[in-house]
């Protein structure tokens, strides 16, 4: 034991009511097990060019006491919000963000947001709404006259929010009720909320913080509805923070998580804004009062409005990885430390149990799948942003949108189930707030519904794939590069038999890809057959489409997302192997587990035609064995990617493995731990205790 | 619209900043759809003889403003705890509980707890710990001299808690570290906590409330460890609420839910208690200082100690039904009201979408499965309590334990996934605290780990079943009545083919039972084969057992639990049909959906041998069609069993369907909704706003 460790133990003991806690070597012992992992190589491969900057931010955060989860455990809503402003004040200007620097280095602002999200998605989102949703909307939909808004925003002279969702409409943006009526005489827009359900709702940063907002409203020109357009408008006075007359802003109140974000609502009572508020890259109104747009189709115009959501959706994918990473840091390290049962005197670490391994290790494998696709997004986002300017209706844009929609869904579902599983697998102690798993559960929960409800969003992926195959009916080829594996011939798809008889064959990368590509084809053909089958007794195509979601189009979209992730994961592993063979070998095993895991979760549909009972058994055996082998090395892997203790904030995930000591320390620090309750007189009254 | 409704609307409007909200008829319209349901008959069948009492408690709660969820949304930990004491003060003495009346009417106290749990499991648990865990432990393990404690407890003269779990040991009770050393000279016990991990931990009601506790400790007599025994001891002075010297009690601090329960820890520093503290029904110490026990085997003695957990585990099963009921009240009613998308001008209710139906309706079906098994427990608990006194090692006791262990696991997992699904299916608005789904999520989450970690607990069911089949190897018959369907002949099991070609055949009750019974047999034989397969490369039987959990024994135990639930569910439906044919028909359809749902979730293992791809498709088609048919009538079903609005507390589940109005009302009531934040100066500083 090092001198520092010993001093810490003595120090804690002196102020504690607990018997001395001997140094727990369980985690250290686990670290000695299994294959080698070069942690730095792995982490640099994980973060790529962002490595230095993320590390610098982490370092800053570790040294500022304003970043401390357990401090915040019992904060009220307003205190949490204040704390986030303190945190932003602490770190924001270190990043030196400006219009120019963010143009030059696309990832710059995302690196800051990523590090903040490792701490808490509430903190990151509070800033992301401003830095990504607000700024990118202006950048994507506005013109040069709007650049000044962006510049002010980067310097935090303005704080902006993103007013799209309304109380009555989230997914169906086309039905938003807020109106912006063009007044040609004054060349102004009159913004109005005609109904209660038209109140902009859940707008992050609106409740208490922002003075500016991008507002999406139905543009009315000469009495004609021109569809949804975006406007950048002031909503509070920068000096007094008062709302202008005819603008009502309120707070959406207590939430089940993320209380640090001041979600608000806004109502407009015929609020007038100047013409230049209109973000007019695609649509504008001529000097003589006529509406004009470079995109004729109203639906497609709406599609373009959604461009601003790309950054937010990539952030959801990214956050999924981060939630899983923090949750698994706690769950895996604690599982190594926690002892329960054995057939001998010394109890086993719960991580030694196959049941525990099976609960946790597949999620560890998924982290790298998500990270791999995030790296792809990081690379492709700037390219796509340009393509959108050139040809917003082009194939690359649609394909990117299909991939992002599917991956946003898949990744957030992964995170949700991972975090829930981590909470369950760590038993009673994770019900403590100091384990920080409850916070992460609620953070992960929102991921499946915000930035596009998963079930609705992935239907767009389904549409993209089905449109691609429909091209072949008209004699065209499938032109989306990610769908080259599509097999048009139905008979061929149905004849496919998975080519493995044992684990070794199954775990071969090309066999795995064959199977996963088959899955995509199978679900595509099944979906088409389903659509045909239900069309007869459906009111219309919309109805048939809805009847083909469960088991079919939803699954097809997920399959596509997982296929794309797997492709990027394979690349991630190949490139890592080039940097460090040993580390690459470990992550390759996680890649195989990830792929076999997809098969296992979908065994029923594979057994429809492509696999037999023996193969199903091989799949199950592989799962258990891979989990067992990887359990040996999982602590090293999570060590490599885990955020520092002060950032994940879980006593269960303490890097030094002194879990019980850390928990007791937090518990003894809490307010009133050894005090009588203030409600003792009431209790005594109920218990009929006579006053002495 | 009724006069009351109109008045309410006007009243809300007057004090609101929102435009008037027209009456929303969506839920009323949904109520007109589908088959008839006699709500009162259904609810009486659901509650049986407890109906009148539960209704009386509900009525009391509805008229006392101390029961109000949205009031509590932002309460601190201590304020929540105080509120619960106020709630207990309001209702407890209405129930007239006493030692005698609870002996006479077994369900009496459980009916009160049930109604409180409909409000919140935190409230119910705070009292259940005292009324069930503490009192039942004394009753089950103590003798006549301890009855006085029970009497005092029913009159709330004492408030008791249940000190089993320690910081270091939850599941493995045999390894508890607290010692109770017998001092023959003084005929006392010296209770001691030798290590930090031996602190009793998570003890509900200990942190701030209790003055008495049942403490489980390792009994040491003449230097020999006699295993875990229970002691009833004072832990605080009844007048001063001070801890005695040598007793340290603290609060476990902030949790991720259930903050209204004052979970605490306790440390003993050689604390002396008199001999009569020992709960001595099964073990005692003679006048000359010798340990004696009516149960020779130490392990079996430990088993008996666990009897006190029965009441708590049945409560977990019961709570699962209650969490699902509240969550689905919100999710189904909101889904009828919430409109999004359509192919025409009027948007559809989201409940009209097959995807939404598939997400929610199967959980509605599961509620009745859980309720059916709870009714069985209610009937059998008093019988088993007697059997335990007569022959604690008898078959009936083991079988009851196996059923309870499996059902505790299955029901709490059902509830967990149901509530998570309800949160997801209701989109962004359920992230509001006023939807109350977050509270229920966290309440349901704890169910899978407390009162025995599910994954560990259901292994006891697995053991029971495997022991039963092992009897046949020795020429005995399987004597457990619930396992009469076990097929010993392996070949016969493997030859089974499900007998259906279409939905109509599949949905036949006896076909469904055949399939579900096959599942039990199949998993049993697979488990035995797995055990054999791994024994060769296992260290010992313990190791082999652990290697046979994933896919095998865990699944076997779940299958058994679901089989037993299905049996009771079928009975529930048959008896209901006798009372009301129409209502019975609707619930029968839910029963079929429940059964088909089990098959669907386990299609992969059925496709190993018992079903083909065509049958798999029939199963999937049935699921979607049944959900669609039941969606028509689901509002009536949930109406019948839903708690009143003031008890479930979700604005989304408002019985009158005025969801948006209710939400806005709550939001506008919250503190500071239209105020500037107290941290505005900090924000202005960050934004470099110059003071004017």
Question: What are A436-459's pLDDT values in tens digits?
Answer: 999 999 999 999 999 999 999 999
Asked whether the predicted pLDDT for residue B13 surpasses 70, the reply is: no
Distance between CA atoms of A214 and A232, rounded to whole angstroms?
Answer: 4
Structure tokens at A154: 């980067």
- CB–CB of B362/B593 below 8 Å? yes
Asked whether the predicted pLDDT for residue B12 surpasses 90, the reply is: no
Mean pLDDT of B637-649: 97
Band of residue A609 on the pLDDT scale cut at 50, 70, 90: very high
Band of residue A5 on the pLDDT scale cut at 50, 70, 90: low
- Contact: B434, A253; criterion CB under 8 Å: yes
> What average pLDDT does the structure give for chain A?
95
In angstroms, how far is CA A340 from the centroid of its own chain?
A: 34
**B674 in contact with A, Cβ within 8 Å:** yes
What pLDDT is attached to residue B3?
65
Specify whether the backbone of A225 is left (phi greater than 0), alpha (psi in -120 to 50) or beta. Answer: beta
**Interface test mutation site (partner B, options A80, A161, A196, A425, max chain B beta carbons within 10 A):** A196
Distance between CA atoms of A644 and A58, rounded to whole angstroms?
Answer: 8
Q: What are phi and psi of B399, to 5 degrees?
A: -65, -45
H or E stretch covering A267: strand A264-268
Sign of the torsion angle spanned by Cα atoms B355, A263, B120, B254: positive
B653 among annotated binding-site residues: no
**B473 in contact with A, Cβ within 8 Å:** no
Give the closest residue to A686 by CA, choosing from B426, B564, B82.
B82
- All residues at 6 or more sequence positions from A533 whose CB lies less than 8 Å from its CB, including other chains: none
Segment among A213-227, A387-401, A461-475, B540-554 with least mean pLDDT: A387-401
Structure tokens at B493: 């099991």
- Least CB–CB distance from B239: residue in A551, A668, A692: A692
Distance between CA atoms of B96 and B426, rounded to whole angstroms?
Answer: 41
Contacts of B341 in chain A (CB under 8 A): 171-172
| pLDDT single digits (tens) A639-670 | 999 999 999 999 999 999 999 999 999 999 99
Distance between CA atoms of B112 and B189, rounded to whole angstroms?
Answer: 36
Mean pLDDT of B551-565: 98
Contacts of B450 in chain A (CB under 8 A): 428
Q: How far apart are the first and last CA of chain B?
A: 54
What pLDDT is attached to residue A692?
59
**Interface test mutation site (partner B, options A449, A533, A540, max chain B beta carbons within 10 A):** A449
- Least CB–CB distance from A74: residue in B76, B208, B672: B76
| pLDDT single digits (tens) B105-121 | 999 999 999 999 999 99
- All residues at 6 or more sequence positions from B172 whose CB lies less than 8 Å from its CB, including other chains: A340, A341, A347
Is A285 in a helix, a strand, or coil?
strand
Asked whether the predicted pLDDT for residue A691 surpasses 70, the reply is: no
Catalytic residue among A451, A507, A562, A568: A451
Is B255 in a helix, a strand, or coil?
strand
CA dihedral B613, B619, B625, B631 (to 10 degrees): -140
Give the closest residue to B255 by CA, choosing from A92, A77, A435, A449.
A435
What pLDDT is attached to residue A300?
84
Is A2 in a helix, a strand, or coil?
coil
A148 vs B309 pLDDT, higher one: A148
Task: Give B578: exposed, middle or buried? Use CB within 10 Å, 0-12, 13-18, 19+.
Answer: exposed
**pTM for the complete prediction?**
0.97
Contacts of B265 in chain A (CB under 8 A): 667
- All residues at 6 or more sequence positions from B676 whose CB lies less than 8 Å from its CB, including other chains: A208, A241
- Contact: B267, A439; criterion CB under 8 Å: no
**Percent share of chain A, pLDDT over 70:** 98
Distance between CA atoms of A440 and A331, rounded to whole angstroms?
Answer: 12
Mean pLDDT of B444-470: 96
Asked whether the predicted pLDDT for residue B225 surpasses 80, the reply is: yes
Asked whether the predicted pLDDT for residue B596 surpasses 80, the reply is: yes
Give the closest residue to B571 by CA, choosing from B391, B372, B337.
B372
Mean pLDDT of B472-480: 93
- Contact: A241, B680; criterion CB under 8 Å: yes
| pLDDT single digits (tens) A18-47 | 999 999 999 999 999 999 999 999 999 999
What pLDDT is attached to residue B598?
98
What pLDDT is attached to residue A9?
58
CA dihedral A575, A579, A582, A583 (to 10 degrees): -70
Sign of the torsion angle spanned by Cα atoms B399, B400, B404, B405: negative
| pLDDT single digits (tens) B156-199 | 999 999 999 999 999 899 999 999 999 999 999 999 999 999 99
- CB–CB of B464/B470 below 8 Å? no
Mean pLDDT of B67-94: 96
Mean pLDDT of A8-12: 59
Domains, chain B: 160-303 (2.40.110.10), 475-640 (1.20.140.10)
- Contact: A251, B434; criterion CB under 8 Å: no
- CB–CB of B554/B562 below 8 Å? no
Distance between CA atoms of A505 and A515, rounded to whole angstroms?
Answer: 12
Band of residue B389 on the pLDDT scale cut at 50, 70, 90: confident
Q: What are phi and psi of B259, to 5 degrees?
A: -65, -15
With b for 16 or more beta-carbon neighbours within 10 A and e for fewer, the B44-66 pattern comes to bbbbeebeebbeebbeebeeeee
> What average pLDDT does the structure give for chain B?
95
**B88 in contact with A, Cβ within 8 Å:** yes
| Nearest-CA distance A376 → chain B (Å) | 28
**Interface test mutation site (partner A, options B94, B266, B550, max chain A beta carbons within 10 A):** B550
Distance between CA atoms of A311 and A125, rounded to whole angstroms?
Answer: 12
Sign of the torsion angle spanned by Cα atoms B218, B220, B226, B232: negative
Distance between CA atoms of B204 and B161, rounded to whole angstroms?
Answer: 7
Q: Judged by CB atoms within 8 Å, which residues 500-519 of B form the interface with A?
A: none
Distance between CA atoms of B298 and B222, rounded to whole angstroms?
Answer: 17
Contacts of B68 in chain A (CB under 8 A): none
H or E stretch covering A330: helix A309-337
Segment among A8-17, B126-135, B460-469, B674-683 with least mean pLDDT: A8-17
Distance between CA atoms of A273 and A294, rounded to whole angstroms?
Answer: 24
- CB–CB of B100/B121 below 8 Å? no
A440, closest residue in chain B (CA to CA)? B256
- Contact: B424, A449; criterion CB under 8 Å: yes
Is A218 in a helix, a strand, or coil?
strand
Distance between CA atoms of A601 and B617, rounded to whole angstroms?
Answer: 17
Segment among A371-380, B10-19, B418-427 with least mean pLDDT: B10-19
Q: Judged by CB atoms within 8 Å, which residues 232-271 of A form the interface with B?
A: 238-239, 241, 248-258, 262, 265, 267
């Amino acid at each position: 034991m090092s001198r520092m460790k010993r001093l810490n133990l003595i120090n804690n003991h002196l102020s504690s009511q607990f018997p001395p806690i001997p140094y727990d070597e369980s985690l250290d012992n686990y670290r000695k097990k299994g294959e080698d992992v070069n942690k730095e190589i792995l982490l640099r491969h994980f973060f790529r060019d962002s490595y230095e900057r993320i590390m610098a931010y982490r370092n800053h955060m570790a040294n500022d006491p304003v970043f401390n989860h357990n401090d915040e455990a019992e904060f009220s809503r307003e205190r949490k919000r204040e704390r986030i402003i303190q945190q932003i004040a602490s770190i924001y200007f270190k990043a030196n963000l400006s219009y120019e620097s963010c143009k030059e280095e696309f990832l710059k602002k995302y690196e800051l947001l990523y590090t903040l999200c490792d701490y808490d998605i509430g903190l990151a989102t509070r800033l992301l709404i401003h830095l990504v949703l607000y700024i990118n909307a202006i950048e994507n939909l506005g013109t040069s006259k709007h650049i000044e808004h962006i510049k002010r925003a980067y310097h935090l002279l303005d704080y902006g929010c993103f007013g799209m969702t309304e109380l009555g409409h989230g997914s169906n943006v086309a039905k938003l009720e807020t109106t912006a009526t063009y007044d040609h005489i004054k060349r102004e827009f009159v913004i109005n909320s005609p109904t209660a359900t038209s109140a902009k709702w859940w707008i992050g940063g609106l409740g208490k913080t922002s003075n500016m907002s991008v507002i999406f409203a139905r543009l009315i020109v000469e009495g004609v509805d021109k569809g949804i357009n975006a406007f950048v408008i002031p909503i509070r006075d920068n000096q007094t923070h008062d709302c202008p007359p005819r603008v009502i802003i309120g707070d959406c109140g207590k939430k089940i998580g993320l209380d640090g974000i001041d979600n608000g609502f806004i109502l407009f009572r015929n609020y007038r804004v100047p013409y230049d508020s209109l973000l007019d890259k695609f649509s504008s109104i001529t000097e003589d009062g006529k509406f004009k747009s470079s995109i004729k189709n109203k639906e497609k115009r709406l599609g373009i409005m959604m461009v601003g959501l790309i950054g937010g959706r990539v952030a959801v994918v990214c956050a999924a990885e981060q939630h899983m990473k923090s949750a698994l840091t706690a769950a895996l390290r604690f599982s190594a430390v926690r002892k329960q049962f054995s057939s001998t005197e010394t109890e086993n670490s719960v991580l030694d149990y196959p049941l525990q391994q099976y609960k946790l290790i597949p999620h560890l494998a998924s982290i790298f799948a998500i990270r791999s696709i995030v790296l792809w997004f990081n690379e492709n986002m700037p390219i796509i942003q340009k393509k959108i300017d050139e040809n917003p209706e082009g194939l690359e844009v649609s394909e990117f949108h299909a991939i992002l929609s599917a991956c946003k869904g898949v990744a957030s579902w992964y995170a949700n189930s991972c975090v829930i599983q981590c909470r369950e697998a760590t038993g009673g102690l994770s019900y403590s707030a100091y384990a920080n798993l409850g916070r992460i559960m609620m953070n992960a929960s929102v991921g499946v519904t915000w930035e596009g409800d998963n079930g609705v969003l992935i239907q767009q992926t389904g549409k993209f794939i089905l449109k691609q195959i429909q091209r072949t009916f008209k004699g065209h080829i499938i032109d989306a590069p990610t769908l080259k594996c599509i097999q048009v011939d139905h008979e061929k798809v149905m004849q496919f038999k998975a080519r493995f008889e044992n684990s070794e064959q199954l775990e071969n990368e090309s066999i795995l890809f064959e199977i996963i590509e088959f899955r995509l084809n199978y679900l595509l053909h099944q979906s088409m057959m389903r659509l045909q089958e239900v069309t007869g007794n459906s009111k219309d195509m919309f109805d048939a489409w809805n009847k083909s979601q469960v088991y079919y189009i939803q699954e097809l979209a997920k399959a596509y997302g997982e296929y794309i992730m797997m492709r990027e994961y394979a690349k991630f592993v190949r490139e890592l192997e080039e940097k460090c063979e040993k580390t690459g070998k470990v992550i390759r095993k996680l890649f195989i587990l990830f792929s076999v895991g997809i098969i296992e979760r979908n065994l029923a549909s594979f057994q429809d035609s492509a696999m037999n009972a023996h193969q199903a058994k091989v799949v199950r055996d592989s799962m258990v064995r891979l989990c067992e082998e990887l359990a040996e090395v999982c602590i090293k892997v999570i060590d490599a990617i885990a955020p520092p203790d002060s950032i994940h904030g879980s006593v269960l995930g303490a890097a030094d493995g002194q879990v019980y000591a850390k928990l007791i320390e937090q518990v003894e620090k809490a307010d009133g731990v050894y005090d009588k309750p203030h409600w003792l007189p009431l209790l005594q009254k109920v218990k009929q205790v006579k006053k002495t």
